[in-house]
Structure 1
Amino acid sequence: MQPLVTTTRLTLRDWSTDDAPAALAIYGSSEVAHWLTPVLGRIADVDAMRAVLEQWQQEQPGLTPPQGRWAIERNDDGAVVGGVGIRLLPPDAEDLELSWQLNPDEWGKGYATEAARGLITWAFTQDIDELFAVARPNNARALATVKRLDMQWVGETTKYYGLNLQVYRLRPGDLQG
């Protein structure tokens, strides 16, 4: 399996159904699911997680780059510590959303910023003009990450997912050397 992006500490790669237990520690965690959009929600068990991963695997080849979902694997031990993705935002499917989720045991180690930065750098080689991130106003961790990524605050909206969200944008010219 060819990695999408490799950073100093992390590799972004396609999900495998073998990742279901590690993925469940992320997407099955109430601490993570609390912040997820209604599209995904909390995953109940390993079988349900495996089914979600199978769906992501089936969808991936048909997506126009840079869209997709990838596992975040730690280089030193191969552990899956999170996931990143780029998807079209509802309702108009015009804006590309950058998202990241980490196992709560891995919070505070800089993995979200490192993985997102690697994904952003790759995404801007795919002929796109901008990426967006959305976060609930009280999601302090996500808001801190968008600031570390030098994303620009656009405003607050209920356009996406019918939720009150803070919207941030990044364009290729905004990237710090």
Structure 2
Amino acid sequence: MVIAKGLRLETDRCLIRTFRPDDVEAAVAYLGDPVVMEFIEPCYSREQTSAFLRTAGGGPVPLVHAVEQRSTHLLIGHVIFHRWQGSPAWELGWILRKDVWGRGIATELSRALITHAFGGGVTQLVAECVPENHASIAVMEKVGLVRAPQLDRDLPVWSITKP
């Protein structure tokens, strides 16, 4: 069974964990950055970030989980990991501070979540992405997701199925 609430996964460089109240300021730094948020949503204010962490990062079934850099114990972003739109598939995604881009961290996190999901009985993972976000598309394809236009809803979808 896949664990979403209380998720704790370690990778070589990161810890995926539940958000804590003291994560708000660090989250504001990346959720309020227009470069980071370019392909996602408008930038979040401190109040919006705090509400987002309480609602999406808390509750009985969190939609997002904090990503902490193990060497510094600093919050560097979050992953999206939850059941996708009422289907048996789970959604995979990430938002990371721009100073950690290009270092393979999104790939590392994605591989860990795919392994966790498939080991826990999930048979399909999906990721949504705007076509202009070439870096995220490259990560998705690197970890085995393929374009799945039959699943498109609001955004184009990529998918990976358990072998």
Q: TM-score range by the shorter chain?
A: 0.7 to 0.9
Shift of residue 14 of structure 1? Answer: 0.4
Is 1:102 the counterpart of 2:96? The answer is yes
1:116 aligns to what? 110
Q: Tell me the distance in 2 between the aligned counterparts of 1:134 and 1:87.
A: 13
* Residues 15 and 57 in structure 1, CA contact (< 8 A), matched pair in contact too: yes
* CA offset digits 1:22-52 (Å, max 9, x no partner): 1112211112222126xxx4211x2331222
2:3 aligns to what? none
Please tell me the residue identity of whatever aligns with 1:102.
Answer: L
* Residues 135 and 143 in structure 1, CA contact (< 8 A), matched pair in contact too: yes
Q: Tell me the distance in 2 between the aligned counterparts of 1:143 and 1:57.
A: 24
Q: Which of 11, 27, 30 is equivalent to 1:26?
A: 30
2:160 aligns to what? 170
Q: Tell me the distance in 2 between the aligned counterparts of 1:156 and 1:24.
A: 35
Shift of residue 5 of structure 1? Answer: 0.6
Is 1:137 the counterpart of 2:131? The answer is yes
Q: Which runs of 5+ in 2 are unaligned?
A: 1-5
Is 1:160 the counterpart of 2:142? The answer is no
Shift of residue 156 of structure 1? Answer: 7.2
How many equivalent residue pairs?
157
Change (3 A) 1:156 1:30: farther
Q: Tell me the distance in 2 between the aligned counterparts of 1:126 and 1:97.
A: 14
Q: Which runs of 5+ in 1 are unaligned?
A: none
Q: Tell me the distance in 1 between the aligned counterparts of 2:19 and 2:137.
A: 26
Normalising to structure 1: TM-score of the pair?
A: 0.79
* Residues 93 and 127 in structure 2, CA contact (< 8 A), matched pair in contact too: yes
1:77 aligns to what? 72
> What secondary structure sits across from 2:113 in the alignment?
helix
Please report the RMSD computed on the Cα atoms of aligned residues, expressed in angstroms. 2.1
Q: Which runs of 4+ in 1 moved over 3 A?
A: 87-90
Q: Tell me the distance in 1 between the aligned counterparts of 2:84 and 2:153.
A: 7
Q: Percent identity?
A: 25
Higher deviation after alignment, 148-157 or 110-119: 148-157
1:11 aligns to what? 15
Change (3 A) 1:160 1:34: farther
Q: Tell me the distance in 1 between the aligned counterparts of 2:143 and 2:96.
A: 16
